[in-house]
Structure formats: C-alpha cells, structure tokens
Amino acid sequence: MIPAHWRKILVPVLLSLILFVSACSTTKPPSQFEQTQQETSRRNAPAAVAKGATSGSTFNQFFPDSGSGYEVVPAQEKNGFAEYKVNKAGQNVAVLSISDTVGNPAAATKFQNSTTKVGGYPSVEQGSNITAVLVNNRYQVKVQSRDASFTPEDREAWLQKFNLRGLAKLPTATSSLPRIQSPKVAPTLPGKLQPATNPT
C-alpha cells in the first residue's frame, strides 16, 4: 500500500508523463509543402526583402506550366520572392524563381556588364548551374539546374517559357534605380511678374 503523501506526489508526475508520451506519439510528419519549405530554407533562399517589394503571390502567374514530361510545382513563396520546382520522372531537375531586387540592389548590379540577352532581357551565368535574367532592372528571374541532365541550353529555354513580358508590366515605381529628379521651378507669386528667362 502506497502512503497517502507519496500518492499526492506520484499522481501528478504520472499524469504529466502520460500526456508527454501521448503528445509525442501523435506528432505528424511534416507535409510535402512543409518539407519543401525546410529544404529551400536550408538552401539559403533569399530572405523577405524591402517593405515595398512585390508580393510573392503576384509572381505565380508568370511561371511556366507543366508539360512535355515536366511537372512544375510550387515550392516557396514570401514577400518579394516565389520559387517552383521542375520535376521529371519524380526527380527534381531544376528550380525556377522570381525575386524582387528592390531591397537588394546588388542583385541587379551584376547585370550591368551583361553582354547576352534571353527573351530580350540581360542575362548572366552564375556559377555552372544558374542562368538568370533581369526584367525592368528590378525583377530577377532564375533557372537553376538540380541535375546534370538539365543543361545551360535547357535553362535558357525555360527562361523563355516565363511570361517575361507580363512580368515587365508590373509597377516599378519603387525600383532600386535612382529616380530622375524634375528641375525645380520657382513658385508663382500672386500679383508679381516672374522674371523672363533668356533662351539658350
């Protein structure tokens, strides 16, 4: 027979242990989307950018569709960034992304010396597995090979599958480019004649 004072101690301890074990046993494995989020986070995907960045959901309409044996599936979306995976026969062969460089002007700087274009936009090679273009000096569109079978020619072809013209129509009022300032004009004072300017 357990003394009463021990029962007062053991009962809460046992209840806590039962609750802990049951909570652990009912933990669900992460969903496919959560796993993708974890994977892209481990790959150091771009962090959310400036407050004025375009919403990641806005970019979804410009990504290529599935077809010709390739499946294009959403992978990650955040403010200023969206990413899709390209799978073939159940294997991830490439990653597609669109990012807003408004909060990261350095991302757009690398295109300044570009001597090549894809779809009419300046393009660059990043390492041996990434091809990117810059649309309206603001939106960076990337195709990254995940398998050796996905060649630089494939990356260029997939860049042209994006709706780059549609992306170019997005507002760029908050672009990282410096704005051209209008010349200041002296205000007109009531009842006063303005001095005439000499033609140049």
Average pLDDT over residues 146-154: 96
Give residue limits of the domains in the chain: 49-168
Answer CATH for 49-168 from 3.30.2320, 3.40.1000, 3.40.50, 3.30.450: 3.40.1000
User: Which segment of 9-13, 160-164, 173-177 scores lowest on mean pLDDT?
Assistant: 173-177
Q: What is the pLDDT of residues 23-76, one digit of tens each?
A: 555 445 544 444 444 444 444 444 445 678 899 999 999 999 999 999 999 999
For 91-95, the CB contacts below 8 A with 24+ separation are 91/147, 92/146, 92/147, 93/145, 93/146, 93/147, 93/149, 93/150, 94/143, 94/144, 94/145, 94/146, 94/147, 94/150, 94/154, 94/155, 94/158, 95/142, 95/143, 95/144, 95/146
pTM score, whole prediction: 0.64
User: Which segment of 12-16, 59-63, 125-129, 150-154 scores lowest on mean pLDDT?
Assistant: 12-16
